[in-house]
Amino acid sequence: MTTNLIGSDVAFPIVITDTGDMALVQGNELIKQSLQIILTTQTGTRFFLGEFGANTEKILANPNDTVAQTVLNTMLREAIKTWETRVEVLKIEFATPTIDTLRATVHYKILKTNLVDVINLEWRR
């Protein structure tokens, strides 16, 4: 039922099945795929859609501190609000396991189903 509410699309990266068709992703996995693409795409890298993405590389060049996390929190929230309107961000948590690593856990709710899930991201310098 949730698949019908959310939809389906081609899996990314593209995978060809044994029958020669492109693999599809559906439901919550489609949302996760969309968020992963949005939050890891640098603004200006899409030829026909230059504004697409989260532009996180700019902030990751700065020291790995609470200021960077606050700015990154805003960047991630704005990117999701702009490009993935099927979800609401509930909270974003950060961890810095090393001085060169920053992890973000984005907690979100799918609006049509009220399903709550997370996506984990990691950046290294």
> Domain locations in the chain?
2-124
CA distance 83 to 105: 18
pLDDT tens-digit series, residues 1-53: 455 667 888 887 788 989 988 888 888 899 999 999 999 998 888 888 889 99
pLDDT tens-digit series, residues 19-29: 988 888 888 89
pLDDT tens-digit series, residues 60-110: 777 788 888 999 999 999 999 999 999 999 999 999 888 888 899 999 999
pLDDT tens-digit series, residues 110-121: 999 999 999 999
The arrangement of secondary structure in 2-124, i.e. its CATH architecture, is Roll (3.10)
Q: What is the pTM of this model?
A: 0.85
